């Protein structure tokens, strides 16, 4: 179940990279995408996974809007998944 949510989280962040987002948001989202992809592809211990999820939360907290409605939708979905992953 967690693996599926990590895959979806990474997919949503990859999708933001395919949209014309504001430059200030692109930096944060690109780094978040790299971490989410690593999480989805790696079998990390729970402590390491929690630390990476905290890093993702920090990165995404720096993005209020992307300047693109579709990217904002993906960002919102990614945040929801991140919240659910941090609660488990």
pLDDT tens-place string over residues 15-73: 999 999 999 999 999 999 999 999 999 999 999 999 999 999 999 999 999 999 999 99
Cβ pair 39, 81 in contact under 8 A: no
Cβ pair 31, 15 in contact under 8 A: no
**According to the model, what pLDDT value does residue 15 have?**
97
Q: What is the count of structural domains for the chain? A: 1
Provide the pLDDT confidence category of residue 9 given band limits of 50, 70 and 90.
Answer: very high
More confident residue, 2 or 41: 41
Q: Which domain covers residue 79, as residue numbers?
A: 2-86
Cβ pair 78, 13 in contact under 8 A: yes
Indicate whether this model's pTM tops 0.85.
yes
**According to the model, what pLDDT value does residue 17 have?**
94
């Amino acid at each position: 179940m967690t693996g599926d949510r990590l895959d979806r989280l990474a997919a949503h962040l990859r999708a933001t990279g395919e949209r014309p987002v504001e430059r200030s948001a692109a930096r944060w989202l690109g780094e978040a995408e790299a971490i989410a992809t690593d999480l989805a592809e790696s079998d990390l211990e729970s402590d390491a996974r929690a630390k990476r999820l905290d890093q993702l939360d920090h990165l995404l907290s720096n993005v209020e809007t992307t300047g693109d409605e579709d990217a904002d939708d993906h960002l919102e979905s990614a945040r929801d998944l991140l919240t659910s992953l941090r609660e488990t």
